[in-house]
Structures are given as C-alpha cells and as structure tokens.
Structure 1
C-alpha cells in the first residue's frame, strides 16, 4: 500500500510529466512551426497541421483513459513513450520520421496528462501545484522557443529527454497510485454550467494567444523570438493569479468577462505594450476563473476523477475551436476583427457559467474580495 509521502511524490512526478508533454513539448511544435518546417523541408503551416493532428490523437487517447483505470506505472510508461517520441522528433530531419514520432508521442501524452490532473484533484495543495505548473509550462515553452529559434529541434529533444527520465522514475517507483472507480464520480455531480465556464475560458485563451502574436507580424507569417518573448512576459501574471487564495464561485463570471476584454484590447490597440497587457489580462483572468471552477467542482463532487479529466478536455476542445474561429475570420475580416468577434460569445455566455443559486458564503473583508475578482 502506498504511503502518503510516496504517493504525493508520484502525483508530483505525473504532474511534471504532463507539463513537459503538454505545454512545453506541444508548445514547441506550435511556436516553432516555421523553423521546424525549415529543418524538415516542408512549409511551416504543415507543421501546424501536424500539431493539430497530434492534439486530436492525444484527445482521443485521453478519452479512453477517462473510461479506464490508469495506474501510475502505466502513466509512467506513457511518459516514457511520449518522451522518446518527442526526443526523436527533435533530432530527425525526414518529414515522415518526424510525423511518426510526434503522433506516437501525442497518443501517449493524452492518458498521461489527464491521469496527472485526476490524481491532483485528490488534494487541494496538489491541485494548486498542478494549475501553477501548467501555466508555468507556457512561460517555459515561450522562453525555450526564443532561445532555440535557430535550432528548433533542441528544445523539443530536451523536453523529450526530461520526460523520459521522469517516466522511468515513475515506472520504477516502489509504490503506485491508481485513480479509484475507473475515473467515475465518487460523490455528487456538478452543474453543467461549470462545463460551460471551462469552455468559455478555453475559447478565450485558445482564440487569443496565437492570433495576438500574429497581429504584430503584418505581412510576415512566421513567429520570431520577439513574439515569443512577449508571450513569456504575458504569462507571468497568470502564475501570480493562481497563487492567490480563492476565488469563490461568484467571482468566475466577472473574471471571464475580464478575460474576454483581453482580445478586444489587442485588436483595438495593436502594439507591443498593449498586446502584452491584453494577452496578460486574458491569460490571468481565464486561469483564475478556471481555478475557481476547479475549486467548485472539487467541493461539489469530491474525488471526481472523471470530471477532473473531462473538464481539462473541455478546455482543450474549446481552445481549438476558438483558434479555428479566429483563424477563419482572419482570412475574411482580418485578425483584429476576428479577435473582437471572439469576445462576443464569451461575453454572452459568461453569465450562464455558474448556477443561478450558488452556495452562500459569509462576506469576506474588502481586500479578499478584490483579490478574488469580486466587486465590494
């Protein structure tokens, strides 16, 4: 039987592995699509399509993990496979080898990410660390993209190597951890409005980040170190926002409305400073809203491993939809107009993202209300 210390270390290792496989390695595919295409001898847009395919494959395997028990040794094996795939993809120069490697890595990454999140839901501290680590992964991948722009495979290979080492440690651990009940809800169920809240948060972030970085490119199509540095700066406030206590569920609606203002600011006042501020507002407010939703879901459906996994998938799917929408509208109306349109459904749906009669709690001091995103 696993001890508390050993299980917590295993959960921490799974969370770190999910960050390496998701935001860091996956982020390298997106942010460095153009230079990776140069190494492979294919257009950068093709690498972007490959990254989208990897995300789809990972989503399918993650759904499978939602329906099955995935003990930590199996998740560790997934980390080993994903790490090896990303490491190989970072070193090869033949397109077919690259495609096979990243598809295998993506398929293994899906169960790894959702299992790590599901197990993190067992403890408020582990959940907070998982949330912070995921957002910090965006900061790290932006920095790696800036440093590795001339050698784009280096960051991908490095992330894969680190993931392989972590996976090996998880597999060889003396004590394993298994999400109970095949990832089913152990007590209670949650309002479907919460799932809508996750979708709105994902929609805003997914539709804002890459299009916002392209606003400064004008007639150029390739992201450079300048744009990835801006993403690095914009992601830091989101990390700080997750370190604050709360928020209460009543803060989620205003936070989502605030997040929707981020892409509008980017679209109406394009420039390095305003872009960084707008992107930072969108990331920080959306991350804070997602944290509030996580706390509410955990309170209403304790040890809800299935919901922990499904809510993460909801964010990813909605994010892909937001990006696709802005990209399509950008071809017709321009990226700025696409970012503005992105905010409209978010603003319309935000008031519907919490139950009409949330659990009443005592009023907190003014400073706590401000930190939690609520009006006094």
Structure 2
C-alpha cells in the first residue's frame, strides 16, 4: 500500500551522496512510500537507475571563491535554486525532506524549513560537511555515520542519532559472500578505483608499482582498474607489456560484484566507498583525497584502519616503490588479508538503512520533531 504523501530526498550529484540516498529510497519503497529526488546536473551518471518517481534538477552552487563577484554569483544561483525548490515543494507536497549533503541540498532543505515541512540530514563522513554544518542548525533531525563526528555543533547533538551509512541493495547482496584469500599459486585479484582525481593518481602510480613486483607475483596478478578515458590506451598498453592481466574502464556499473570477487581493494576513502567495503567485508588500502577542505577522507580511512579493516596511506607517501612493497607484503600474507576482511565486515552497520527509514517515518508521523520552533517559518 502506497503512503499518501511522497518523501523528497535531496543530494549532491556525486556517488558519495547519491548512493546512500539510493539505499534509503529502496527501503522506503519497500515500506510503501513514493520517493522523489532533488539533485543537480552532475548526477546524470548515477541517477538513471535511481528508484524515484521523478528526478528534479535544482540549481545550486559551491562557494569556489571569496571575491565579491564570486560570492555574488554563488548566492544568486543558490537564491534561484531556493525559488525553484519552493515551487517544487508546493507542487509535490512531500511529507518529509531528507538531505544527503553537498550544496545542492541547501535550496530544498531551506525551502522545506520555510514551508514548515519536517527535515533531516544524513552525514556520511566522520567530519560534518560544510553544507550539512549549516543545515544542522535548524533541521529537525541529524543522522550520523560515525561517533564522534567532527564539527557537529554541540547544540545540535540532542537532535542527532547514530544510524551508520546506508548501502544499496546491490551491495548488501554480497554481504554473505565469503572472502577468499590468495592461495600460494592462484590468481591475485586486485581492484583499483577512486573517482576522477583518484583515477588520475592511480593511473600514474599503479603501472610502475606493479612492474616492480617480482615476476612470480606479477604473472599471477589480475587487475581491474577505473581510469579516465584519456588514460585507457596507455594503461592497457603498459599492462600488456608487463604481462599483467588487466581490465581497465572509466566506470564499472557492477562495482559491488567486483568488490566481492577481489582479494584486495585500492581506493579513495569517500564515505560510501568505506561503507560498502565494510558491508561486503573486503581488505583495502585507502589513499585519502589530499588537500580536502575538512580532511574527511583522511578521517574515514583512519577510522577504518583503527578498526583493523584496512590500511591508510597518504598520497604524498605512496610512491611506486612503497606501493610495490605493500602489495608484495599483503599478497604473500593471506592470513593478514583474511583478518582485515573479517574486521572490516565487523565494522559495518548493515541495518543502517532501516534505522534511517525509521527516522523518516517518525518525522512523517510528526513524532519527535526535535526543534522547538519547528512550526515557525525559518
């Protein structure tokens, strides 16, 4: 039975924001809710399969400069997005609006607050993002993935709940697939991915690192690697020359399955990546995105490393020689890889999506609103 009023999800147009929103949309659909999505133009690569009745493009902007002209452009576009969001909410009449971070969540959440519609945000990282930091001042509820979460305003803590990061059905489908550590003569299965900047760095560091491996390891290796279009031909040629079996592509739609079949994963440490690796239970070598404003990826990777589920190496420390040493150490220590896989799996919160959906239903029923003046316009 379909609930009367829809739930509107708002998310930035990257996989890190859209994947947990996808997981929630799937769970709400199972509970009989209609879901719609508000996002930006960047989401085209991810939202074609998003389980929503409709996907709405809302203008937004990130603060990219501090000059008066840059700030004026940013706020003008956000203002235009706010007016578009007001029109959208008046037309859709959602019961609740849930934000998943990124500046595209600002117009829908602020518009919902203005129209007295219950709101919540979900923070995937161990560090509160800047958009969520702003919205946490007045949303009704705040769902967190890590405890503690850096930069969470103490005044907002009473409205916060620890849910973990929801992962998609396509990921949870592999949670019960056992990890198969390398055997002394079998194939060595390596998966490498990491967004546009991660793909560029890994395309530079992986070939010389793998070529530095001893021949008996190199000949047993099969690498599946995400790479930019402009790097595909060069990488394919280098791996062929080094006699390394390789599958190189700009994007993998079946990434959860590839995670499940890998024996080691090398990746960036975005929140969704970390959550999915934990959900499936695969050992990983994480290379946080450097120069991030809040070092959120470094915090995510550090939390996983502290739990024993993987290893964190900063990009400026990951030379080809260092990477080759780590790969040789790990691939010749199957018990170490198996131990990390088990610990990563133990760190997961597989019921995160159920906890978040419960929170949405509480707001939809008008329970535990959490803000004293929730009925007043912002």
TM-score (norm 1): 0.28
| Higher Cα radius of gyration | 2
Structure that is richer in strand per residue = 2
Structure that is richer in helix per residue = 1
TM-score (norm 2): 0.28
